[in-house]
Copies of this chain bind each other. A is one copy, B any other.
Amino acid sequence: MTQSKYKARSPVQQRGIESREKIIEAARALFSEKGYHSANALEIAARAGLATGTFYSYFNNKKEVLIEIIRTFYKETVEDVFAVSLLEINDARPSIIGKTEGRKLVHYMIETLFTAHSLNPELHREILAMILLDPEIAEINRQEEGKVIAYLSALLGRYKDLIRVNDSEAAAHLVYRAADEVIHRVRFFDAQIDGTRLLSELEEMMCRYLLREDE
């Protein structure tokens, strides 16, 4: 928390850039395997094949690595997956829209979120917990999440003929939140109920909520 006397440096040489990368990779692996709280700087450095001090050359503390990982996580998983998937729907597969099959659109959205959750479920869970525990992480997440919601919002706005929501921004939030949470539960916990049934109901709920009756 305290501002360190030694600020973490940014590597300029190739070797430094590689070391920083190794640390992030090692941290990502450890956070997934044993959780953020159980991993420590010594261990992360060792896993990266570096000394403890090297860790602190590039990061002031464990949390800074987590933040970096979260940003990368959103970039690599949610954001990219989303952008690509939605572009596909939009541009590469105009046929979907042509058929006015809004239900397929909903299915795609849920599937995409599910894929994003599946890339590294354990790490995802750790991040979700940290969002609850640390306001700084919460803020980072809010920023990153905002981009995803913006995609959704734009998407909902684009298909006005299919979708009947009034407040498309609030709807995007709602859809993201609800879907994310339900998918998360299905993904992590052997729910009291069969996951397939839950996802199926989720799709049903989304359709009833989002799509025009006459579709």
Give Cα A138 to B213, complex, Å: 39
Give Cα A200 to B174, complex, Å: 10
Instruction: Enumerate chain B residues within 8 angstroms of A182, measured Cβ to Cβ.
Output: 174, 177-178
**A-B CB contact pairs (8 Å), 12 listed:** A5-B43, A35-B133, A37-B133, A125-B132, A146-B192, A167-B197, A169-B193, A170-B198, A170-B200, A174-B205, A181-B181, A205-B205
Within 8 A of B (CB), among A192-211: 192-194, 197-198, 200-202, 204-205, 208-209
Q: How many residues of A contact B (CB 8 A)?
A: 46
**Inter-subunit contact A174/B202 (CB<8 Å):** yes
Interface of A is mostly: helix
Give Cα A52 to B181, complex, Å: 39
A191, CB-defined interface residue at 8 Å = yes
Looking at the complex, which one of B42, B165, B198, B201 makes contact with A201 (CB distance below 8 Å)? Answer: B165
A87, CB-defined interface residue at 8 Å = no
**Inter-subunit contact A149/B205 (CB<8 Å):** no
- Chain B: minimal CB distance from A83 (Å): 19
Instruction: Enumerate chain B residues within 8 angstroms of A202, measured Cβ to Cβ.
Output: 174
**Inter-subunit contact A142/B189 (CB<8 Å):** yes
Instruction: Enumerate chain B residues within 8 angstroms of A181, measured Cβ to Cβ.
Output: 177-178, 180-181
Within 8 A of B (CB), among A33-50: 35, 37-38, 42-43
Instruction: Enumerate chain B residues within 8 angstroms of A2, measured Cβ to Cβ.
Output: 2
Give Cα A51 to B165, complex, Å: 59
Q: Which of A2, A138, A201 has the most CB of B within 10 A?
A: A201
- Chain B: minimal CB distance from A2 (Å): 8
Instruction: Enumerate chain B residues within 8 angstroms of A204, measured Cβ to Cβ.
Output: 209
Q: Which of A5, A129, A170, A209 has the most CB of B within 10 A?
A: A170
- Chain B: minimal CB distance from A4 (Å): 12
